[in-house]
Amino acid sequence: MFRPGTMVVAVAGTLVSAVPAAADFKLERQLSLVPGGRFILTTDVGEVSIAGDSSQGASVVVTSRRDDLEQRYDVRFEERAGMVEVTVKRRGTWLSGLFGGDWFNSGTRFEIRVPRATSVNVHASGGSVHVARLLGEARIHSSGGGLRFEEIEGRVDGPTSRGSIQVRTVGGDVRANTSGGGIDVADVRGSLRAETSGGGIQIDIVSGEVYAETSGGGVRIQGAGGRVDAHSSGGAVTVAFAGGNGSGGTLSSSGGGVRAELDPTVALSIDASSSGGPISSDLSITVRGTFSSGSLHGDLNGGGQTLRLRSSGGGVRISGAASVATTR
């Protein structure tokens, strides 16, 4: 016996209808969800799109090219105080899904609308996930595709094991982790941790601290507002610090050169070494000890926090930013 408020779609015939051309299966459901609540989705199949566009309640629309989706999956809806939970579970073993073609050709898609003041949790193993226009946090995990976040006011936590990650306009801290693609981030007002083994990392304007690491490409950061730790074994590392940022950090690469663009007025201690090329600086750094082509230790404007620069795949260059970006 199921608990009150729980429904298995297979017994709800009035909710399922055939849709010509665009989809062979369609399910629509309106659920009670007040602003400030939480939406949870766990699914073994399909791409997911969630947006904070609903004025009241949660709307879930599921479409698929498979007309036998309800025979292959159990779909459950639960409404509890301040929370909605949707679960899509494959019947049988994972082998039945593999040989049945569910994972590759189902064309299943979730279109979900929730109040803007909602936090979401998604665990998807069947495809990409797109989350937009939320005041709450977004915790998303996918083992089957890329992730995209837009206009999220709260924290973003986004690991995926296959696909790229794109982040645009987030008010809280961000964690982006993928083993299958690149990471592209713009406008984060918290801190950022970005890690990938499958591509490069591009970051544009982060107010807080940044940790970025890749073994599959280079790292390029513009408008870094806090401390930066950036590492690559697959390409060059270039970081342009925001105006007034003297927080320092560590920049290293074993696959290319390292470049730091600094506000010339900040106070920093510089610790640079290279076994893959020369070290050069356009700024007036007071050298401590002996300067060599492969090592530089000194102070900018009297010294301060330490900026470490390491390269075994190219040279190290320190320059003043022509137009130093500022964070919001």
- What does R_g of the chain's alpha carbons equal in angstroms? 24
Q: Read off the pTM.
A: 0.87
pLDDT at 177: 96
What is the structure's pLDDT at 13?
Answer: 32
Q: Tell me: pLDDT of 128 over 70.
A: yes
- Confidence grade of residue 23 (pLDDT, cut at 50, 70, 90): low
Average pLDDT over residues 12-20: 36
Instruction: Say yes or no to pLDDT of 1 above 60.
Output: no
- What DSSP line would sit under 185-248, residue for residue? EEEESS-EEEEESSS-EEEEEESS-EEEEESSS-EEEEEE-S-EEEEESSS-EEEEEPTT----
Q: CB–CB of 106/46 below 8 Å?
A: yes
Confidence of residue 180 (pLDDT cuts 50, 70, 90): confident
Round the average pLDDT of the chain to a whole number and report it. Answer: 88
Phi, psi of 64 (to 5 degrees): -155, 150
Tens-place pLDDT, residues 132-172: 999 999 999 998 799 999 999 999 999 998 899 999 999 99
- What gap in Å lies between CA 166 and CA 179, rounded to an integer? 14
Output the pLDDT for position 189: 98
